[in-house]
Amino acid sequence: MNRVCKLAVHLVGLIVLLAPQARAAVIGVNVPAASLTAARIDTLPEGQRAVWIAYLTRSTQQREIDRAALAAERAALPAGIAIPAPPQGGHAEKTMPLNQAPSWYAGAAARLVADNIVSFQTPAGGWGKNQPRDRPPRRLGQDYVADNNSPRAVVGDFDLAENPRWSYVGTIDNDATITEIRFLAKVAAQLPDASARTYRASALKGVAYLLAAQFPNGGWPQVWPLQGGYHDALTLNDNAVVEVAELLGELGLGQQEWAFVPAALRAQALAAEQRAIGLLLASQISRHGRKTIWAQQYDALSLAPVAARNYEPASLCTGESVEALLYLMRQAEPSPEIQQAVEAGMATLRALALADVQWLRGDETQGRRLLAKPGAGPLWARYYDAASLKPVFGDRDKTLHDDVNEISMERRNGYAWFGTWPLKALAAYEAWAARWLKPQTARP
């Protein structure tokens, strides 16, 4: 990574904020993302309104169907039988491993997970997040999801659910729904047709859910049916859009465990992936007429970057941009537009690299801090202000700061403010550029 380090001379404006004489400041306050509503759609040009109204109507109707289904189950409980307690929350993904030997997916442990997955699928076809799947199936009348409210949430918190027992009822956050579909397909591929039928049907219903949840512009909200607030935003956070698009692209080819997907649905999936790629190209943020990288989430209608949780600002986001770039580089025949997007994104990541600093955990009184260390790096902040290209940091009280050392220790210790995510993109770019870029445009 010598090339990256050599670029440190271009980073004076970024490093100044770390110098001892620099004055840290509260540079702003996070504002909540707007929900997707009919009133907001009415402000669009007339020719754009119909598809968005249809989308919103579909979401509203499906939410009522989901709620009515749960209410009907509870009404059908025998007299004297209490409504079951909500499911247990926890780490979901590790209970749905996707890297086991094929034979493992035919065994009892995998079948238990698959049965749990099928039972917790919402009527819409999605799944909630943060629920271990190596548990018994859902019981009649039981909530579809665990309570995902943060224990630190307060009144006015952007992440505080109006109804904690009806939150994230269908989501792509934290790899939910994506992982369930993939796991079911792997199990079904190892079983006889009769035994695989239930799992295939559930996986296909999940795919239909993803297609129904896709915005008219090609992106996806974090939660569908829509929940309101930043959950309605077009979400790259946790690589959600990229992972959904990649899943649809894979199953659209109908290979390996996806051979059971009907041809018509495969065609829809491939078309949805192409719309998602178009969305990534359209949402790459420009600065002074030049493309940079991507935000963590966007307003669905305007594609303006928006905040998520109290401490997550509307800004450029390096981690999710890395995954977007890697995904674009994996395209079999990258168009000139994709090539230009990758070139611009990689140039931006190189320019944002921080040198001569380290992100360390100190003692109990200091917590994590960013400290000067000659020769250290490269390191990248998670968020950068789109106008100044300087790192930006949020706190639970919604304040935005230009110095990570000035935010609360709880947030400094509890969030990935810095990392080396771009290194894998920089490494992948070398081979990709050699193959796809003309000699005069490839970087030396």
Active site residues: 174, 309
Could you identify the residue written with the tokens 């990541």?
349
Triad 322, 324, 330: Cα angle to 5°: 105
Could you identify the residue written with the tokens 């799944």?
127
Cis before residue 305, ω within 30 degrees of 0? no
Q: What distances in angstroms separate CA 218 from CA 61, 161, 340, one per listed residue?
A: 21, 26, 20
Distance CA 168, CA 43 (A): 28
Select from 142, 179, 149 the least CA-distant residue to 163. Answer: 149
Select from 135, 120, 139 the least CA-distant residue to 202. Answer: 120
Burial class (CB in 10 A: 0-12, 13-18, 19+), 437: middle
Q: Would you say 387 and 400 are in contact if contact means Cβ atoms under 8 Å apart?
A: no
Residue count of the chain = 444
Distance CA 379, CA 18 (A): 13
- Helix or strand run (H / E) with residue 400: strand 399-401
What is the b/e burial string over 194-233, where b = at least 16 CB atoms within 10 angstroms of the residue's CB?
eebebbbebbbbbbebbbbbbbebbbbbbbbbbbebbbbb
Burial class (CB in 10 A: 0-12, 13-18, 19+), 167: buried
CA gyration radius for the chain? 23
Token pair for residue 18? 């770390």
Q: Would you say 211 and 272 are in contact if contact means Cβ atoms under 8 Å apart?
A: yes
Distance CA 29, CA 21 (A): 24
Beta bridge partners of 393: 401
Beta bridge partners of 358: 371
Q: Is 55 left (phi over 0), alpha (psi -120 to 50) or beta?
A: alpha
